Amino acid sequence: MQINKQITFLGAGSMAEAIIGGLISQNIVSSRSITVANLQDQDRLAYINETYQVNTESNRLEAVQSADIIILAMKPKNLQDAISYIKEDVTENQLIVSVIAGIPTTLIEAELITNNPVIRTMPNTSAKVGESASAICLGKFATDAHLLTVETLFKAIGSVSLVEEEQMDAVTGVAGSGPAYFYYMVEAMEKAACNAGLSKEQAHDLVTQTIVGVGKRLQNTNKTPRALYQEVMSPGGTTEAGIQKLAEHHFQDAIQDAVGNAVNRSKELGQVLSKN
């Protein structure tokens, strides 16, 4: 299903690019219906324009006026300035979609002058290849029709879960930040592979296919993660030797701490702005 709406991205960073790349490659919107504006970085706009053939606009007010959907894709600390700059030009029928970590819909609604529908989302950068694990929740003026539009957009870039707003910080720590934890581990595995005698290219190919296989397996089985890693481990074998080291380094505690810290940071980001 194609979405026949004008979409303006305010913010042209990694997340905006991942979503734009996903939407265009899935042909869910035409590049002509996307406009991208940022704060100041003209080189970045030129790159986005050349790479995706979308419209770019150095005048943020012009970008906003032409939009049916405004996607807020700036850092949390830039949100209030961003809204205060555009709010006189925002009209009530425009759908506001936020991808910003930690920021509640109530805060966005309060910054606006008009009673706009607001939908908070949390995608991840795998949107670029159509594999984001996104979650969405609705602000108080958003209807089922707005939900359907945003679900359609985000389904083009991966899976979509409808969650309660109080679950969004958890989603952010797990799935928004999640790709980074895996890339961090992949970096370590590639280093280990090279140290063990493989070339960089061999290491990259083997580790990448291993992680793709793990993802696909998880999607296609009812077995628990424990059953799956036990399936790999022969008594006295190589995997047991590897897992023994992970356990000695308290790997699972480290992962749980990492996710917990990210969830708490998401909560803090919302609280800091709510106090301003």
Ligand X SMILES: NC(=O)C1=CN([C@@H]2O[C@H](COP(=O)(O)OP(=O)(O)OC[C@H]3O[C@@H](n4cnc5c(N)ncnc54)[C@H](OP(=O)(O)O)[C@@H]3O)[C@@H](O)[C@H]2O)C=CC1
Q: Which residue has the tokens 């970085």?
A: 41
For 57, how many CA atoms within 13 A lie in the half-sphere containing its CB? 21
Size of the site for ligand A1CAB (CB under 6 A): 4
Size of the site for ligand X (CB under 6 A): 29
What tokens appear for 23 in the block? 């939407």
What tokens appear for 99 in the block? 């991808």
**3-class secondary-structure state, position 146:** helix
- Looking at the Cβ atoms of 176 and 270, the one nearer to ligand A1CAB is 176
Q: Could you say whether residue 98 binds ligand A1CAB (CB under 6 A)? A: no
Q: Which residue has the tokens 């919302």?
A: 270
Among 26, 31, 44, 186, binds ligand X (CB under 6 A): 44
Q: CB under 6 A: which stretch of 49-57, 107-115, 172-180, 191-199 binds ligand A1CAB?
A: 172-180
Query: 10 is in the binding site of which of ligand X, ligand A1CAB, none (Cβ under 5 to 8 A by kind)?
Result: ligand X
Nearest to 93 by CA among 76, 129, 68: 68
User: 113 with 90: CB under 8 angstroms?
Assistant: yes
- Looking at the Cβ atoms of 10 and 118, the one nearer to ligand X is 10
CA distance 78 to 100: 10
- Looking at the Cβ atoms of 68 and 165, the one nearer to ligand A1CAB is 165
- Looking at the Cβ atoms of 79 and 207, the one nearer to ligand X is 79
Q: Could you say whether residue 41 binds ligand X (CB under 6 A)? A: yes
Least Cβ distance, residue 40 to ligand A1CAB (angstroms): 21
CA distance 133 to 126: 8
Among 104, 139, 158, 176, binds ligand A1CAB (CB under 6 A): 176
Element (H, E) at 37: strand 34-37
Binding mask 89-128 for ligand X (x = CB under 6 A): ----------xxx--------------------xxxx---
Percent helix, strand and coil across the chain, each to the nearest 5: 60, 15, 30
Residues at the contact surface with ligand A1CAB, assessed by CB under 6 A: 101, 172, 176-177
